[in-house]
Amino acid sequence: MTRWTTRLALAAWVTAVGAVAFGNGGCSTPDSGALSRVNLPDRGQFIDQGVSAFMEKRCGALDCHGQIGRPLRLYSGSGLRMADGPKGARDVSATTPAERLANYFAVVGLEPEDITESRDSAGAFTDFLLLKKPLGIDQGGVRHKGGSVLRSTDSGFDCLALWIAGTAENAALKAKCDDGAIQ
């Protein structure tokens, strides 16, 4: 073996060891104990002050978010039910607390970090899907397969924005959501 070959082999070995050491240092495994801080909108307001009812009516029809395969699945008495009624028939009762709780988790689970940022900023941050999807592109939002379903001046939009911001009293929030549901 010549001197040059020996040097070349040594250089290759040093490079390989260095690459492995760099790789191990740069690609550590995820910390299984790590948690993301979230500051989520109020669950009670969503269930009892009309936010869920507004979304059930305006977003949760069976041809939209009331479908099993669709993202942001919403349950309701007039749409998709969580369970069958007696003897396998349709459950014709009003939306159940369990369904509204599932709706809450579907909504806050959409973009929890962004919703947290919005709530932390008392509603100043609005660049996230829950507020931009319903506007559609033509209203300044983002592409929504269901098109533009709200305007930023609608009570329904205020219902969502105020609930996320956490700046409205129960009565004021409910008034916006109830009005938004019938628009």
Partner 1 sequence: MLYRTIRCLSLASVLTFASFFTSCTDPVRDRAIERLGEEDPAVPMGPEHRPGQPCVLCHSDGGPASGQPFAIAGTIFKTSSADSEGAADVDVLFIDSNSATRNTTTNAAGNFYIRESEWQDLAFPFKTGVKAQGKDQRPMISTVNREGSCNFCHKPNPGSRYAFPDDDPRESVGQIYSELTP
Task: Tell the smallest beta-carbon distance from residue 83 to partner 1 (Å).
Answer: 7
CA neighbor of 135 nearest in space, from 117, 154, 112: 154
134 touches partner 1 (CB under 8 A): no
Q: Cβ of 131: how many Cβ atoms within 10 Å?
A: 22
What gap in Å lies between CA 151 and CA 180, rounded to an integer? 11
Report the chain's terminal Cα–Cα distance, integer Å: 86
List the one residue from 70, 111, 129, 146 that touches partner 1 (CB under 8 A). Answer: 146
- Token readout for 138 is 């033509």
**Contact string (CB under 8 A) for partner 1, positions 54-73, x = contact:** ---xxxxxxxx--xx-----
Q: Which amino acid is at 148?
A: S
What gap in Å lies between CA 157 and CA 59, rounded to an integer? 12
Choose between 3 and 90: whose C-beta lies nearer to partner 1: 90
Task: Tell the smallest beta-carbon distance from residue 161 to partner 1 (Å).
Answer: 20
Task: Answer for the pair 80, 74: CB distance below 8 angstroms, yes or no.
Answer: yes
Task: Tell the smallest beta-carbon distance from residue 29 to partner 1 (Å).
Answer: 40
180 touches partner 1 (CB under 8 A): no
Q: Contacts with partner 1 in 74-113 (CB under 8 A)?
A: 78-85, 88-91
Q: Contacts with partner 1 in 147-166 (CB under 8 A)?
A: 147, 149
The Cα diameter of the chain in Å comes to: 88
Q: Which residues bind partner 1 (CB under 8 A)?
A: 57-64, 67-68, 78-85, 88-91, 145-147, 149
